[in-house]
């Protein structure tokens, strides 16, 4: 609809004698998105999109849009919404628990362990039955805690969850988030911190979610860190820096090179778009991002 409106505006401007300097960009904009609508995915990257970033759409409509673009996975979906995904043939590439998902009340603080462990143990068999693999978890805030105490507290909780996860072939995936701008005091804010926890846990059923947006803000050196720590990474998120908007050339990261680096590690998991769209037609933002990452 936005594309058709753009065309009408262009024709109106031409009829009114508007300068070609104004009309030409609008024409180019429309043609660019016409080409995106015809784009066929290469199949090297397993694409996904985070549900919350397109929350203006119903989940049914987001499923339809995803299928129309040409991929078949949505991130950060809980059990209550899995039937909708299944109806459309969409995979839940990163799952939430059925209970609360407060990233500030995480595994590094024992006062939350009982509730979190209960939520994870209830959700894991549901995932196994549905055929899903990745279950997100969070470190929580530091609140004055040193690294060693945080690692030990996370390990205590995870060692009560992981035997059950291993039995059901579910991977607990801790997200790396920046504590500089978006999530003040979050503990798992450097890939080295997350990797050290992975080493201590020593289980193929505990990995990291490498959020490219967050890690660019926190520490940069994205491609080197992907290469150095890929064995601990089970999932990726995208986002433009700064602002967490489109991943095009308006921001500082060059996503084709990042995607190529990910593929070179032998990665076979999902890359989920997790940016806040700003285009008039927000689905054009998603089409563009998928094409940018489709190396």
Q: Find the mean pLDDT for residues 87-110.
A: 94
123, 174: one domain: yes
On whether both 12 and 111 belong to a single domain, the answer is no
User: Residue 177 and residue 186: Cα distance in Å, rounded?
Assistant: 7
Q: What's the pLDDT band for 36 if we cut at 50, 70, 90? A: low
Contact present, 35 and 28 (Cβ < 8 Å): no
Residues 107 and 22 in one domain: no
pTM exceeding the 0.95 threshold for the entire prediction: no
For 109-122, write each residue's pLDDT tens digit. 999 999 999 999 99
Domain count, the chain: 2
Tens-place pLDDT, residues 210-223: 999 999 999 999 99
What's the pLDDT at 101?
A: 83
In terms of Cα–Cα distance, which of 148, 203, 201, 213 is closest to 176?
213
Q: Are residues 77 and 115 in the same domain?
A: yes
Q: Do residues 287 and 37 touch, judged by C-beta distance below 8 A?
A: yes
**54 and 101 both lie in a single domain:** yes
For residue 29, pLDDT beyond 60: no
Q: What are the tens digits of pLDDT across the range 122-173?
A: 999 999 999 999 999 999 999 999 999 999 999 999 999 999 999 999 999 9
**In terms of residue numbers, what domain contains 14?**
1-38
- pLDDT over threshold 70, residue 15: no
């Amino acid at each position: 609809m936005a594309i058709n409106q753009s065309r009408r505006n262009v024709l109106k401007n031409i009829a009114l004698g508007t300068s070609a300097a104004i009309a030409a960009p609008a024409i180019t904009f429309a043609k660019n998105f016409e080409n995106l609508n015809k784009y066929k995915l290469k199949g090297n990257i397993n694409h996904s999109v985070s549900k919350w970033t397109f929350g203006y759409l119903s989940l049914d409509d987001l499923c339809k849009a995803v299928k129309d673009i040409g991929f078949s996975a949505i991130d950060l979906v809980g059990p209550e919404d899995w039937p909708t995904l299944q109806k459309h043939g969409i995979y839940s590439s990163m799952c939430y628990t059925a209970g609360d998902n407060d990233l500030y009340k995480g595994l590094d603080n024992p006062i939350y362990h009982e509730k979190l462990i209960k939520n994870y143990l209830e959700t894991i068999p549901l995932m196994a039955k549905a055929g899903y693999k990745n279950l997100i978890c969070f470190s929580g805030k530091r609140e004055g805690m040193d690294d060693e105490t945080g690692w030990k507290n996370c390990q205590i909780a995870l060692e009560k969850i992981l035997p059950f996860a291993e039995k059901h072939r579910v991977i607990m995936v801790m997200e790396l988030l920046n504590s500089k701008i978006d999530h003040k005091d979050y503990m798992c804010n450097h890939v080295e911190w997350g990797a050290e926890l992975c080493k201590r846990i020593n289980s193929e059923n505990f990995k990291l979610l490498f959020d490219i947006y967050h890690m660019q803000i926190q520490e940069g050196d994205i491609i080197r860190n992907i290469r150095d720590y890929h064995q601990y990474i089970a999932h990726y998120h995208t986002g433009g820096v700064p602002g967490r908007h489109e991943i095009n050339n308006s921001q500082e990261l060059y996503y084709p090179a990042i995607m190529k680096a990910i593929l070179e590690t032998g990665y076979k998991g999902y890359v989920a778009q997790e940016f806040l769209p700003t285009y008039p037609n927000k689905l054009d933002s998603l089409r563009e991002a998928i094409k940018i990452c489709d190396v």
